[in-house]
Amino acid sequence: MPRPEEQPVPPAPPRDDTRTLATVAHTAFFLLLGASLVRFLLRHPGDPRTPWIVVLSITLALLYVLGPALGTGTGTGTGPALRTGTGTAPRTGAAQALAPTARRLLWLGLVVTTWVVLVVLAPSFAWCAVPLFFTALRTLPPRAAVVLVALLTGFVVIAQLKLSKSFDPNLLLAPPAVAALATAVFVHMERQAQAQRALIDDLIRTRRELAATERREGTLAERQRLSMEIHDALAQNLSSQQMLLQAADRTWDTDPATARAHVRTATGIAAHGLAEARRLVHDLAPSELADGAGLAEALRALDAGPDIEVRFHLEGTPAPLPDRVQSALLRIAQGALANVREHSGARTAALTLSFLGDQVVLDIADDGHGFAEPRTDAAERGHGLPAMRARVRQLGGTLTIESAPGEGTVLSAAIPLEPAP
């Protein structure tokens, strides 16, 4: 997984008001289309245009339904202004940038063309243009969308005047007023969404920068502490040993008793240095395992944040584990839960520690969205999963990951155990 300061900013979920507006617009489109078709059939029974009107109405409905599947922006996602905001991951390559745009334009052209033919045959279908305003604003860049809305509005005015038996000023003024109101509401919502997304992006970047700064400061402080410990304990002991051994070498032939005394003193200093080295190594062990706490208790105390429920299960008969194994499994569990929190969208996670006699296995399962592509050493970015694989590999174990879209992810670390004497 990428380090926090290197991760791309994830796109924000669709706003509730945008999703509601999309639902209302889609519902209004099908209601207006159905009402227009029923009106035509009731007022023009037996008209020779009826088969064409029915076929074109069904075609227009199908095209409108296929819009989200083609990635045309008619779904509940963000509009063009948001798609170009800072929260969307940039595309790479000309083909990736042009293919979706061409598909959107082709789809919108088919929808507008079908609607225009319908209006020419039956002007009562003109009011279906109101939801099409919303579709155009979501599909095209702002300037092109406004131009298309203006053209559609003009066509609606012409169709309504043609349908009316006498001149009505409302038919001349109402469509432009409705179009202007719909455009103003949509543009205002898009700008609000853009501002909200920019604010969220700034907050996320600030949080990650603060976390990175805290990690750097913590690393520097720990390095300084270790350097002082090594200088004051290990380095001084080694220096004393060197001086005593040199003195013993100089007096070995002339004063063997003194030389042996120097060697014995150096041996004592070496034993003290070894004890100091072991103390330093113990201090570097996870704090959760300090004071004799077992691995099971440390795993049971882990959490993945307030929105994720973490459950712990212990299977088999617990056996004493080497400190290296306990530290590795605890770090793997912490890293896996961090990935669950940051990337999976899960609501629950389960930790299972299994003692199988000749090996110990730690499983971390979540109910997140999972992924389809296999996770290999070459495909993994950042330091999360590669670090887990390295820890397990150093202990002669294996790390496996199983996942499928919509079915969550299971990470399993198996470490062999030496047989009891």
Per-residue pLDDT at 153: 78
pLDDT band for position 78 (cuts 50, 70, 90) = very low
Cβ atoms 230, 236 nearer than 8 A? no
Name the least confident of 82-91, 328-337, 399-408: 82-91
Per-residue pLDDT at 69: 59
Highest mean pLDDT, choosing among 60-69, 196-205, 297-306, 376-385:
196-205
pLDDT in tens, 308-345: 888 999 998 888 888 888 888 988 888 888 888 877 88
C-alpha–C-alpha distance, residues 143 and 187, integer Å:
11
Paired strand residues for 409:
366, 403
Per-residue pLDDT at 166: 65
C-alpha–C-alpha distance, residues 127 and 159, integer Å:
10
Look at residue 4 and tell me whether its pLDDT is greater than 50. no
Per-residue pLDDT at 9: 41
Residues 103-119, mean pLDDT to the nearest whole number: 82
As a whole number, the mean pLDDT across the chain is 76
Phi, psi of 215 (to 5 degrees): -65, -45
Phi, psi of 364 (to 5 degrees): -120, 115
| Top-confidence residue, 417 or 71 | 417
Q: Is 150 exposed, middle or buried (0-12, 13-18, 19+ CB in 10 A)?
A: middle
Strand 359-366: give its sheet, edge to edge: 309-315, 348-355, 359-366, 409-416, 398-403
For 285, other C-beta atoms within 10 Å of its C-beta total: 14
pLDDT in tens, 277-303: 776 766 666 666 665 668 888 888 887
Cβ-based neighbours of 111, under 8 Å, separated by 6 or more: 60, 63, 64, 67, 132, 135
Looking at the chain, the whole-number percentage of residues with pLDDT higher than 90 is: 7
Looking at the chain, the whole-number percentage of residues with pLDDT higher than 70 is: 76
C-alpha–C-alpha distance, residues 195 and 191, integer Å:
6
Q: Is 358 exposed, middle or buried (0-12, 13-18, 19+ CB in 10 A)?
A: exposed
Look at residue 390 and tell me whether its pLDDT is greater than 80. yes
Per-residue pLDDT at 168: 65
Per-residue pLDDT at 193: 79
Per-residue pLDDT at 95: 37
Residues 266-284, mean pLDDT to the nearest whole number: 76
Dihedral (Cα; 322, 325, 330, 331), 10-degree rounding:
130
Question: Sign of dihedral through CA atoms 261, 262, 267, 273?
Answer: positive
C-alpha–C-alpha distance, residues 12 and 201, integer Å:
9
Structure token pair of residue 179: 């179009």
pLDDT in tens, 165-223: 666 676 667 677 777 777 777 777 778 878 888 889 899 989 888 888 888 888 887 77
Per-residue pLDDT at 340: 84
The three-state secondary structure class of 378 is coil
| Top-confidence residue, 299 or 224 | 299
Structure token pair of residue 176: 């432009």
Cα-based angle 132, 135, 140 (whole degrees, multiple of 5): 120
Which phi-psi region, left, alpha or beta, contains residue 411 (left: φ > 0; alpha: ψ -120 to 50)? beta
Cβ-based neighbours of 23, under 8 Å, separated by 6 or more: 76
Per-residue pLDDT at 98: 36
| Top-confidence residue, 253 or 163 | 253
For 64, other C-beta atoms within 10 Å of its C-beta total: 23
* CA 394, chain centre distance (Å): 30
C-alpha–C-alpha distance, residues 289 and 307, integer Å:
26
Q: What is the pTM of this model?
A: 0.39
Length of the chain, in residues: 421
Helix (H) or strand (E) holding 398: strand 398-403
pLDDT band for position 1 (cuts 50, 70, 90) = very low
242-250's contacts with Cβ under 8 Å and 24+ in sequence apart are: 244/269
Residues 31-51, mean pLDDT to the nearest whole number: 84
C-alpha–C-alpha distance, residues 249 and 243, integer Å:
10
Phi, psi of 193 (to 5 degrees): -65, -40
